[in-house]
Structure 1
Amino acid sequence: MHLLLLLTSLGLLVAASDSSSQHKPFDCGTDTSHASDDYLKTVQALHDNKNSGSPAARAAIAARDQAAASTGSISIDTVFHIVAKADSKSTVTNNMPSAQLSALNTAYKPYNIHFNLINGTYNTLNLYFQTDLSGGVLGRCTLPSAIANGKSDPTIYANDGCNINANTMPSGALQGYNSGMTAVHETGHWLGLLHMFEGYSCDGPGDYIDDTPAESTATDGCPGDPIHNYMDYSVDSCYQGFTELQVARMRSMWGLYRDGN
């Protein structure tokens, strides 16, 4: 994979802000305010189990049913971009991208989803690891959206991907969050998942998935269930997996929006 080459050829670009090695509450910059209307209609249709309405809703149901009948492997091409200021690039060591790839594959392996480190298109996962990520979050990611048949601005390709604090990579400087689980969480967004506390209410649709508990607040640290779910907030050591319907949702969104585009 020529990881040393990745660190140099992908560009050590300039960003701004302060990195800290101290424990901070997990925060992620991805929510429904960043979602397209098409995405919101799709998750609503999947949640309501209605095979009617817009073409997008009907396509979502068809994709879900096809995904439910399939257990085949999903292989996702992935690109790591290391973004750092000159005086902070030394915080990202040469072995951290390899360890991060391993953390992603270990987390998603039980669900038959695999990541390959290369270059590619809209079905390629672009991860931008920034040593000085702005905005006070550990990461933010684009949710999938329709791009075919002129429905969307082609710049969606250029903007697609995840921005992640590089200090969350395995052996990074951010204590409590340096086992690579932030990239796992953000990749869940890229594959179509929302936070379980979406809407910050115990009523309403939440993340539009029936087997995840509704939450009025995000968790912090490792207080107890349901912090083990990758789409809640917790320290890395508490994360354990996705629910069955979260996996089905990722597969549906992959087939509907990203595969082949």
Structure 2
Amino acid sequence: MLRTLVTLLLLSSAYVIATPVNSTFIGRACASHPSDEKVLEYEAHFAAHKVEKESFSTDAAAAATVSVYFHVISKDSTTAGGNVPDSQLAAQITTLNQDYSGSGLTFTLAGTTRTVNSQWFNQVGPDSSLQTTMKKQLRQGGANALNVYTVGFVSGSGAGLLGYSTFPSDYSSNPTDDGVVMLFSSVPGGSTTNYNEGKTLTHEAGHWVGLYHTFQGGCSGSGDSVSDTPAEESPASGCPTGRDTCSSAGVDPIHNYMDYSYDSCMNQFTAGQISRLQSQIRTYRSISA
């Protein structure tokens, strides 16, 4: 979902940019930005099928468990070539659990596959046939399993991305497609400057559990469908304290994991986002504490 230098993609998939966000934006970029029409479709379906239940426990010992499968795609056997070491994958799981500590979710490493395939590493991207082939061969588990594919995003439809994800309600129509594809060097200790503390997966997993970008819809409409995230006209870059792009109450939520700020700037989900993600994964992923 994320690009270092955004070149807008006019693609039809639910998880790619369907409406221009900012054609000159430089920084984090995520290809999971549905059009306003797609958001209306998602929200209508959610309203009609929402599963109600008591709030999740925020006690980690009683938290709902999400099994994570890493699929490490590399062009060769080196770390620079995409062969992310186990230590960095473990650090990524730790980061996920820290960032989602108030959500009632616990992420556990269920398995790791390693594939040397330079074509996948370089060219996999949103809606590509290579992505379809890769996921068909590698995906594991059901709707409640988070599959994460680490690639290089060198060329093709994914060129320059940091990552992208499917949304929960997409699963029933295309289970094999479900999951996150992310830049290998954005894991903790990776080589992507300003985006190497593991927040890319935190952000992409946010989409996987049903959250939109904080700037979804800009300053008008229902925005990200969460009432306690201030409206934001466009993605933030860096860590612009005090940034305020909409006239409604509240400054831009630059510290929110669902914005585009530097990893070092991100540190929060709101209570409303937590409530939404819990409802989304109860409804679509059969995950409940």
TM-score (norm. length: structure 1): 0.75
Structure 2 gap ranges (5+) = 1-25, 111-139, 242-251
User: In structure 1, what is the equivalent of residue 153 of structure 2?
Assistant: 132
User: In structure 2, what is the equivalent of residue 14 of structure 1?
Assistant: none
Cα drift, residue 137 of structure 1: 1.8
* CA distance, structure 2, for counterparts of residue 35 and residue 143 of structure 1: 11
Cα drift, residue 112 of structure 1: 2.1
The answer to whether structure 1 residue 220 and structure 2 residue 223 are counterparts is: no
Cα drift, residue 131 of structure 1: 2.8
The answer to whether structure 1 residue 157 and structure 2 residue 175 are counterparts is: yes
Name the amino acid aligned to 2:205: T
Structure 1 gap ranges (5+) = 1-23, 43-55
Q: CA RMSD in A?
A: 2.4
Q: How does 1:52-201 map to 2 (within 5 A)?
A: 56-60=46-50, 62-63=51-52, 66-68=53-55, 73-86=63-76, 88-89=80-81, 92-118=84-110, 119-132=140-153, 134-145=158-169, 152-153=172-173, 156-199=174-217, 201=218
Question: Which residue of 215, 220, 224 corresponds with 1:207?
Answer: 224
* CA distance, structure 2, for counterparts of residue 36 and residue 96 of structure 1: 34
* CA distance, structure 1, for counterparts of residue 42 and residue 227 of structure 2: 17
Name the amino acid aligned to 2:267: Q
Cα drift, residue 38 of structure 1: 5.1
Identity, % of aligned positions:
37
* CA distance, structure 2, for counterparts of residue 137 and residue 184 of structure 1: 15
Q: How many residues align?
A: 215
SS in 1 for 2:96: helix
More relative contact order, 1 or 2 (CA 8 Å, 6+ apart): 1
User: In structure 2, what is the equivalent of residue 253 of structure 1?
Assistant: 280
Cα drift, residue 83 of structure 1: 1.3
- 1:167-196: CA deviation from partner (whole Å, max 9, x where unpaired): 100110101110100000000000000001
The answer (yes or no) to whether the contact 2:56–2:104 under 8 Å persists in 1 is no
* CA distance, structure 1, for counterparts of residue 43 and residue 223 of structure 2: 12
Cα drift, residue 35 of structure 1: 5.1
- 1:236-256: CA deviation from partner (whole Å, max 9, x where unpaired): 111111000100000000100
- 1:145-184: CA deviation from partner (whole Å, max 9, x where unpaired): 165xxxx43xx11100000101100110101110100000
User: In structure 1, what is the equivalent of residue 133 of structure 2?
Assistant: none
